Structure 1
Amino acid sequence: MRIILLTLFCCYLFPVFSQTKQDSLEIDLKEKVVIAQNDSLKLHYIVELTKKVEKRNVDEARSLMKEALQIIKDNSYNSNYFLKKKALIIDALGKYESIQKNYEKSLDLQLEALKIRETLGDSIGISQSYHNIGMLFRYQKDYEKSKSYFFKAIPIRQKYLDSTKLARTYNMLGVSYYYNKQNDSAMYYYELSRNYYPTAFGKARASENIATIHYTTGNYDNAIEVYKKNIALYKSENYTKFIVNSQMHLAKIYSDLGKHQQAIHYIDETFASAKKYGNTAKLPLMYQLRSHIFEKMGNYRYALGFFKTHKYYYDSIFNVRNAKKITELELNYKFQKEKQADSIKFATEKRELELKTEVKQARSRLYILLLLLTAVIFITLLLIVNNRRRLNQERYKKEQFEKELLDEKLKHSTYQTKQLIADNKMRLQFKQEFLAKLKKVKQYADAVDISDFQSLITDLSSQIQTESKLDSIEDNIDQIDEEFNEKLRTLFPTLTKSEREICALMRMNLSLKEIMIIRNVTMGSIKASRHRIRKKMGLTREQELEQAIMDLI
C-alpha cells in the first residue's frame, strides 16, 4: 500500500512539470498576439494559442475565438483568406458548445460555417464541416443523421486524398454503426479506417475499436491480441497516455475469463504506467477494477478496501487540490503508523486524520450535491423558459391564422357587396327604362301598336335572362377567381386586373351591356378594353374573343 501511495504522489507531481512547459508555450504565443504587425498575423497567432488553451479551459478558448471573430467583423474583411478564417473560428465555437452539451447552438454555428465554406467553394472545409456535424449528431445519439453527414464527407476526402482525415471519418462512421448495434458494418468501416491511416499510431487507434467489437461479441483471444500489439506500439513510440487504457482493457478481459492472476498482473502494470507517465485521471477506475477482480476471487476484504479507495478518489476528483492534500495526509498517516504503531499518540493522530478525511469527504459530497442542485434548477428554469417561448410562438401562430382567416372573410364579403351593388344598379336601370316605356304606352294608349308590347316583353325576357346569369355568378365566383384568373395571369401576364375581370364576366356569357352595367362604365370603355384584350391575347380578326376565352378552361 505504501508503494501505491508513493506512486500516486509522483503521479500528481508529473503534471506540474508538464504544465510549466505548456505555460511557456502559451506565454510565447500571447506575446506574439500582442506584437503582431497586422490582423492576418494576429488571427493566426490567436488560432494557434486557442489550440493550446482549449485542452485545459474551453471558456478561455471560446473568448479567444470571439476576439478573433470580432477583429474580422470590426474591419469588414471579405477576402477569401479572412472568410476562411471566419469559417474556422465559427467551426471552433461550435465545437466548444458541443463539448458543453449546448447541441442546438453548436449545430447553428456548424451550419453557419458550412454556409461560408459552400459560398467560397472550399471543398476541404466543407468536408470538415460535414464531419463535425456528423460528430455532433453522434454525441446526441442520433446515429442515422450522424452517418448521413459522414457519408457526405467521405467522397470529398477521397477526392483530395486526405488519408488521415478520411481514416478518421471512416472510424467515426464505424463508431456510429457500433452504437447502433450494427457490428458487421462497424467492423467494415473500422477496417477501412485502419487501412487508410498512414501512421502506426492511427492504425492502432482504429484497431482498439475493432478490439472492442471482439470483446463485446465474446471473441476474447482476438481482443487480447490487438491490445497487446497496441501496448507494444505505444511503448515503442512513447504514446504514454494510451498505454493505461489498453492495460486496463486487458485486465478486464482476463477478469471476465476468470484468469485472475493475469488480470492482477495487468492492473499492477496499469498502476506502474500511471506512476511512470503521470496519468492520474484513471485512478478511480483502476481501484474499482482491482476491487472487482478481488471480489470475483472471493477475497472480499481486499475487494472492500480497494472499493473504499475507489470511492475516496471518486468523491475527491471534482477538486484536484483537495485530492492532492488528502493523498499527502494519507502518506503522513501511513508513515506515522509504521513508526508509532504501539503509541497512544498515534491512535489520537489517526483519529484526527480520519476526522479530517471524513470532513473533506462530507465537504466534497456537499459540493457535488450543490452542483447537482444548481444543475437541476438551471435545467428546470431552461425548460420553463423554453416552454413559455413555445407557448408564445403557438399563440402568435394562432393569432396570425385567425387574422388571415378574418382578412379572407372580409375580402369575400367586400367582393359579394360589390356584386350586389352592381346587380342592384342593373336592376334599377332596367326598372327605370321599363317604367318609362309603360308610361309612354299609357300616354298613347290609343295609338299603341302590338309591336310596342312585343318590345316590352322582349326587354322583360332579356332582364330575366340577365338576372339568371347573375345568379350563377355567385355560385361560380370562387372557382373563377382561383382557376380562370390564375390561368389568365399565367398565359397572358400583360393583362391588367381590370382586363382579367372583364374576361371573367365574358366567360359567364354576359353581354357587353351587362358587363357595362356591372362595371359601371360606358360602352366605349368596355369596347376599348375588349380591343386591348384581343391585342394582348394575340388574336387574329377571324378569331372571336368570346370563343377564345371559353376555350381557356
Structure 2
Amino acid sequence: MSSKYLQEANRLKFQNPDSSMSLFKLSYNYHIKRGDTVKAIRDLINLSYLFANNALFSQSYDGYWQALLLADKMADEAARAWVYNGLGWLYSIYKRQEKAIGYFNLSQSINKQLDISDELNRQIRVNNYYALATLYRKEMNTHMSRRYLDSCWLVQELTGVRPRGRGDNYFNAETGYVLYLETKYEEALNLLLPLEEKFGKHDPSYLVIYYTFLGHIYKSLGNFSLSELYYLRALENTDRYKSHLDLKSGIYDSLSNLYILKGQFAKAYQNLKESKILNEKHFGSRSEDNKYLLEIKDDYRREKEKQHNLIKEQRLAKLEHEDRVWYLKSIILTGTILFLLLLGTLLYRYLRSAYKAEKRLLQKHRELEIKKTNEVLEIKNKELTASALQAIEREELLLDLKRKLIRQQRRPDPQEIGKIVKNIGMSTSKNWKEFEARFTAVNESFYIHLNNRFPGLSQGEQRTCALIKLNFSCKEMAKLLGISIESAHTTRHRLRKKLGLNRSTNLEEFIAGLEHQTA
C-alpha cells in the first residue's frame, strides 16, 4: 500500500502537486502507524521539498523541522543531513545567505561521516556542493561557485557513479551561467543550448531555470526577441509543471526590464505589477503563508531547547544531589580511613617499639650471659690447661727421676728407692684428682650429660672424655695418665666403639657437643 502512495505521489509531483502532496501525507501517516519512522522521515522530506517548489514555504519549513525532530530521535544521520540541506535551500530562497550556508555546511559535516558509497549519502553530498555553487553564483561570486562545481564533479569521479537528482546536465547548466556572469556569452551558449533536449526528456521542471538563463544571456547579447521568447517559456513551464514558483516573480521582473529596453512600457508595467504581486504573496511579511516563517516561529527548536533545558536542569539537580551525598560519604569515609590509619599506625608503632625493646633486652641479657659464661670458661679452661701442663711437667720430671733411681738401684738403698717410686705414683694420682676436681668445677654439666647418655663408661673412659674435650693430644694424654702413646690410641679407639661412633664422626666434635645434645 505504501509503495503505491509513493509511486503515484512521485508521478504527480509536477503535474498535480496538490494530489501528490495528499499522497505523501497518506504515506507518512501509514508509516507512522506502522512504526516505520525511517520511511516516515523520508515522506516528510519529500513533502517539504514539494511544498517549497510550490511556494508553500511555511509548510515546507514545518515539515523539515518535524522530520529533523524524528531524525534526532532515531539518530538517523543521513536523514538529518538531508533535512539540513532542505533548510539551506529554503533560506537561500529568502536570500538569507549566511543562514543558508550554515545549514549546507552542517549537512556536509554530517555527510562526511557517512559512507559515500551509499547512493543517498552521495546524493546529499553532491546536492550540498551544488547548492553552495548556486548560492555563490546568485551572489556573483563566480570563483566560489566554480570551486563547488568542481567538488560536484570530483565526487562523481571518485565514486564512479552519478548521483540521482543532480548530475552532468545540472553542473553544465550552472557552469554555463557562470560563464555568462564572466561575460563569456558565446562559451555559455555553446554549453547551454545542447542541454534543452536533455532537460525536456529527464527533468522538464528544470526548464524554468534553464530558459531563464538563456533569457538573461540573449538580453545581454542584445537579442531581445530570443530573450523574450525564453522568458515566456520559463513562465509557461512554471505553470505547466507547478515547479520553481519562487522564481516566477523574478522572471516577470526580468521581462519588465526587457520591455523597457524595447520601449514597450505598457507591457513593462504589467509585468512589473505581476512581479510585485507574486513577490508580496511569496515573500511579503503580510502573507499569511510566510508570516510564520519570517517570524521564525521555530516550534522544533523551542521544543528541543525546552527539553534540553529540562533534561539539563534535572541532570544538574541529580548531579548536585549525588555530589552532596558523595561529598558526605567521602568525608565520612576519609575520616574513618584516617582514624583507622592513625590508630593502626600508633598501635603498630607501640607494638613494634615494645617488641624491639623486649628483643633488645633479651638480646642484651643473652649477650651478657654468653659473655660471662665464655669469660668464666675461658679463665677456668686456661687454669685447667695450665694445671694440666704443670702436671705434665711434674710427670716428666718424676719419670726422669724414676728412671735415674732405677739405674742406680744397685748402689743406693733399695728400700729408699722403693719409697721414692711409691711417692712418685701417689703424686701422680694426686695431680690427676686435683685436675679432675678443677675440671668438674668448670664443666659441672659435662659429666651429668655424659653419664645420662652413656651410663656404662668407666672412670678411666670418663677421664679420657674430659681430656679430649680439652683438646689433649694422644701424646699429652699418655704423659698425663702415665701410659704409652699406643695405649692412649687404644683407649680412644675403645671409647669410640663404646660411644657407638662410626669412622666418619669426629670424636673431639662429638664430645665437645655433648652438653648441647639431648638424650
Q: TM-score range by the shorter chain?
A: 0.3 to 0.5
Q: TM-score scaled by structure 1?
A: 0.44
Whose radius of gyration is greater, 1 or 2? 2
Q: TM-score scaled by structure 2?
A: 0.46
